[in-house]
């Protein structure tokens, strides 16, 4: 993984020093609340319902074991013993004391971590495929380009105060695991007809109040022009994005109202002006790739006898392997999903003790690295097949071996009304109730890949618009209600879910979801996935069942 140089380290240490002074001035009354608001947001600090919330950047979801241990100690010393992984692969602390946040940031800086640009109207954390570098469908590892983008976006002087927040995602595989089409700028590594690898650039995607799927603005862009083309897009957005209405300030609205062709013409004109002055050299790319060189894999077989014996001898282990591991591009290795969706835990939450245990597992079995996914789980990317049984046992001992990746209980969930000051309705309690109702693992596994995404407000932090089943919390006269959408997807065939009907009361939402699942089981053809059934039969059978008694 990328290692900070002296310049990188100095930057984050100076930022901590700067924010320490700003915080002290606020606490002594020298800075007003409005003045401090802009400063704290630039350092990832929000004011939530109960306490400040600090969002920590995890660039493209990659963490070292040393960083995991620091996250654990911070959770223990500055929070309430846990933290939360988000849909942007970041980490959030929900209970830090404001006056101690500078000390917290200083601790993070010792392991090359920070909270710069994790909030506010700026260029946010660049996200990517959590299986980058190891998946069999990869065209090229996207992480070197993610790091190049990270360095370009960090404290960019022209884009510190954009009309609205701005998000970029990069994928190097044929299967989109990074929701690329739902970002302000999406980037796919692709091959042209000559076999050359470059970028397909998408623009104008986004979720929230007005979910829109991004459109291709450049089908193929040569590698040397990556930064200049991104710069051109950002310049046009910065010039013409609306600042009078925050609900219409995202680039997706600008592209929609301007029209893709006109927007592209403006971008191309700006790009022609700057492209020769921002060339990304082959040397720079090669230097960055060296930071992501493959580890020292052993020469192994995919048919280890002891692994096969454990598979046939332990049904629980076999189930975990089926759902929580994935094929690796190197024979004899598997990627292991660590589910943060245990039935009795809020989705995405993890304790300090669990973080430390995972750090130990990473050091022992996965070259000292861990990844976070946009579905709020973790990944040990490089586990030997011969070690899987031991890893499973150790994960099971710390309640991190729930075999539910890609199932209906692998729920994306925002903090909701329990923590967030913006939320209209609860999320965590509803997720817990759903998990409790769907506690039959045989049933869960039988119905296959169904993604539930649930947000407590229109900001859509949990991507409810693109859930197979989307749940959105709304406020009706002080009561919590939930709108349901079906048919969304954030993968290759990205789609915005269609609203099923009127909102459902909180005490009825779990039954509504189980009704939807029952209709699917009744209507599906053999081996037909949930999205295929919804597309084939339409919403009406689901609508009739859910609203039959309303």
Question: How far is C-alpha 363 from the chain's CA centre?
Answer: 24
Q: What is the pLDDT of residue 94?
A: 92
CA distance 221 to 234: 16
Q: pLDDT below 70 — which residues of the chain? A: 441, 549-550
C-alpha closest to that of 416 among 34, 42, 53, 37: 53
> DSSP state, 356?
H
At 550 the pLDDT is: 58
Would you state the pLDDT for residue 286?
98
Which H helix or E strand runs over 434? Answer: helix 428-437
Q: Output the pLDDT for position 549.
A: 64
- All residues at 6 or more sequence positions from 246 whose CB lies less than 8 Å from its CB, including other chains: 164
Pairing of strands 479-486, 452-455: unpaired
Q: How far apart are CA 127 and CA 167, in angstroms?
A: 8
Helix axes 509-523, 530-537, angle to 10 degrees: 80
Going across the sheet that includes 52-56, the strands are: 45-47, 52-56, 91-93, 82-85, 349-351
Backbone angles phi, psi at 84, to 5 degrees: -135, 130
Q: Which of 462-471 are b and which e, b meaning 16 or more Cβ less than 10 Å from the residue's Cβ?
A: bbbbbbbbbb
Distance of CA 168 to the CA centre of its chain: 11
Beta bridge partners of 168: 185
């Amino acid at each position: 993984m990328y290692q900070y140089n002296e310049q990188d380290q100095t930057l984050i240490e100076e930022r901590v020093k700067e924010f320490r002074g700003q915080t002290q001035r606020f606490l002594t009354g020298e800075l007003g609340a409005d003045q401090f608001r802009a400063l704290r947001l630039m350092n990832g600090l929000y004011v939530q319902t109960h306490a400040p919330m600090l969002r920590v950047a995890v660039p493209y979801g990659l963490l070292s074991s040393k960083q995991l241990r620091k996250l654990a100690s911070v959770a223990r010393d500055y929070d309430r013993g846990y933290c939360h992984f988000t849909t942007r692969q970041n980490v959030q602390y929900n209970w830090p004391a404001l006056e101690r946040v500078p000390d917290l940031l200083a601790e993070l800086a010792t392991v090359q971590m920070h909270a710069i640009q994790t909030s506010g109207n700026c260029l946010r954390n660049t996200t990517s495929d959590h299986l980058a570098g190891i998946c069999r469908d990869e065209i090229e590892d996207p992480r070197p380009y993610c790091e190049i983008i990270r360095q370009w976006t960090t404290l960019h002087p022209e884009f510190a105060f954009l009309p609205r927040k701005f998000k970029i995602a990069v994928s190097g595989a044929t299967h989109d695991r990074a929701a690329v089409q739902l970002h302000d700028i999406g980037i796919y590594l692709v091959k042209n007809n000559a076999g050359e690898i470059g970028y397909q650039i998408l623009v104008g995607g986004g979720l929230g109040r007005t979910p829109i799927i991004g459109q291709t603005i450049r089908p193929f862009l040569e590698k040397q022009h990556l930064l200049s083309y991104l710069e051109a897009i950002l310049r046009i957005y910065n010039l013409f994005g609306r600042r009078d209405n925050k609900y219409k300030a995202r680039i997706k609205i600008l592209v929609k109202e301007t029209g893709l062709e006109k927007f592209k013409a403006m971008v191309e004109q700006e790009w022609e002006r700057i492209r020769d002055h921002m060339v990304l050299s082959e040397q720079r790319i090669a230097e960055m790739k060296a930071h992501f060189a493959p580890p020292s894999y052993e020469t192994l077989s995919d048919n280890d006898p002891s692994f096969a014996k454990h598979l046939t001898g332990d049904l629980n282990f076999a189930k975990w392997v089926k759902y929580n591991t994935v094929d690796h591009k190197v024979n004899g290795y598997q990627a292991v999903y660590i589910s943060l969706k245990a039935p009795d835990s809020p989705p995405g939450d993890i304790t300090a003790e669990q973080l430390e245990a995972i750090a130990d597992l990473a050091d022992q079995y996965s070259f000292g690295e861990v990844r976070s996914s946009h579905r709020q789980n973790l990944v040990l990317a490089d586990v030997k097949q011969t070690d899987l049984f031991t890893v499973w046992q150790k994960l099971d001992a710390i309640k991190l071996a729930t075999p539910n990746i890609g199932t209906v209980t692998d729920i994306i969930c925002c903090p909701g009304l329990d923590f967030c000051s913006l939320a209209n309705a609860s999320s965590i309690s509803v997720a817990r109730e759903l998990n409790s109702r769907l506690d039959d693992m045989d049933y869960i596994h039988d119905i296959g890949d169904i993604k539930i995404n649930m947000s407590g407000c229109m900001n859509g932090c949990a991507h409810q618009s693109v859930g197979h089943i989307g749940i959105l919390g709304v406020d009706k006269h002080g009561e919590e209600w939930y709108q349901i959408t079906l048919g969304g997807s954030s993968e290759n065939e990205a789609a915005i879910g269609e609203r099923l009907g009127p909102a459902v009361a909180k005490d009825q939402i779990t039954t509504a979801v189980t009704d939807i699942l029952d209709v699917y089981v009744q209507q599906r053809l053999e081996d037909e996935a949930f999205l295929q059934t919804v597309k084939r039969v339409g919403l009406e059978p689901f609508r009739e069942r859910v609203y039959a008694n309303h």
